[in-house]
Amino acid sequence: MSFLVKARKQLENLDRTAQKRILSFLSTRLLASPDPRLLGKMLAGELEGMIRYRVGDYRLICRLEDQTLTILVIEVGHRREIYR
């Protein structure tokens, strides 16, 4: 699992509780899942090919790289702001 620089900064700007919840979701749910696609929703339009994961009021926009089994976090943000 890796983060783009922008996504890392967005995560660091969140409060500690939200950070812990998001990191816990990534490590316990996504990395442990045999198919992470089942836990998210495929996006369309500008974000086609990306997957959205819901973690409380926050959304993670990710790209899965199957060849290396990598989850790349593109953006982290509140649900009211993430798609703008």
* Domain locations in the chain as residue ranges: 2-78
pLDDT per residue as tens digits for the range 8-65:
999 999 999 999 999 999 999 988 888 889 999 999 998 899 999 999 999 999 988 8
Residues 48 and 66 sit within 8 Å (Cβ to Cβ): no
Three-state SS at 23: helix
Is the pLDDT at 80 greater than 90? The verdict is no
Under CATH, to which class is 2-78 assigned? alpha beta
Residues 6 or more apart whose Cβ sits within 8 Å of residue 66: none
